[in-house]
Amino acid sequence: MPDIVHTNAPRVPEPVAARRHQEHFFAELDETGLGAVDAVQDTGAPSSQWSEAWQKLRRRPTFWVSAIIIVAVLAVAAFPSLFTSLEPRFCELSNSLGDPTAGHPFGYDRQGCDIYSRTIYGARASVTVGVLTTLAVLIIGTIVGSIAGFFGGWFDTILSRVTDIFFAIPLVLAAIVIMQIFSQYRNSFMVVAVLASFGWTSIARITRGSVMSVKNNDFVTAAKSVGLGKFGILTRHILPNAAAPIIVYATVALGTFIVAEATLSFLGIGLPPSIVSWGGDISQAQTSLRSRPSVLFYPAGALALTVLGFIMMGDAVRDALDPKVRNR
């Protein structure tokens, strides 16, 4: 009988033993270290909100189209004599509703005035009223909204209720009533004062909300910790970072105030007849609408194109400055 040999070595299962003799393949290690992969370029200056907005604006055709329209309108309003040598107030009844001729591409209106020269010179009054009114409402609305949003408490309560009172009054209706009362003082500055007195409420609300969303940020806390005063914090830190929605609204509001001036002049209570404006020419063209609609078309077309340019610019700026749109 053969001898039985006892061993303490464990018996390896046959499949496991077979796997030990199999060749193993390993993926080659990437020669690029993790440090190089995760490295961040920090040598350049960090981009700000405005630089990022400009980079996005440059890629939008809407921005360039609206910029061309606005620059052209501002150039016509500032230097009308470069675009026509005719006097817009010189009229001859013998040319009443005359057809276009050489040097008079738009023809004549019912009074015998050159429509082209009046369209060119009408840009000055309308654009001037729109720009000055926008600047006025920016100043009033920014002051009221920033004080209410930054200080809060009873400042916010009083200023918000005053804003609500003015906000409840329709802009054009209030302008009509005030201009009727002070009709003997009709001029460009009177129209600006009336429109600004009732048109600042929207900017005040936007400024208040933007300031309230910024004032609790870390950089404001850091400014307080170094001893910077409240006025310095508001003007140097909060308002620059809260300006984006204010600028967007102001761009769109400029076109709105141009339309408001044209509406008042159309009703005969805006600018006096001695001042050439698109609204006044549109009002005078009503009597010739059936026989000669082109008399109305040119000033109305110039007004519509100008307002369209500012609205398109406002949309482009809003899309560039709105973080929700930028991150899409």
pLDDT-flagged residues of the chain (< 70): 1-50, 322-328
Which H helix or E strand runs over 88?
none
Residue 94 confidence (pLDDT): 79
- Structural domain of 59: 49-326
**What tokens appear for 97 in the block?**
């509703």
Residue 79 confidence (pLDDT): 92
User: Is 308 inside any structural domain?
Assistant: yes
User: Is 24 inside any structural domain?
Assistant: no
d(CA 83, CA 164): 45
User: Is 53 inside any structural domain?
Assistant: yes
Structural domain count of the chain: 1
User: Is 15 inside any structural domain?
Assistant: no
User: Is 1 inside any structural domain?
Assistant: no
First-to-last C-alpha distance (Å) of the chain = 87
Q: Are 265 and 271 in contact (CB under 8 A)?
A: yes
Cα diameter, the chain: 147
Residue 15 confidence (pLDDT): 55
CATH at 110? 1.10.3720.10
Residue 227 confidence (pLDDT): 79
User: Is 31 inside any structural domain?
Assistant: no
Provide the whole-model pTM: 0.78
Long-range residue pairs from 290-293, CB within 8 A, at least 24 positions apart, any chain: 291/97, 292/97, 292/107, 292/110
User: Is 162 inside any structural domain?
Assistant: yes
pLDDT in tens, 102-135: 888 888 888 888 889 999 999 998 899 999 999 9
pLDDT in tens, 25-63: 555 555 545 555 555 555 555 556 667 777 887 888 888
Q: Which residues lie closer than 8 Å to 89 by C-beta, 6 or more apart? A: 113, 276
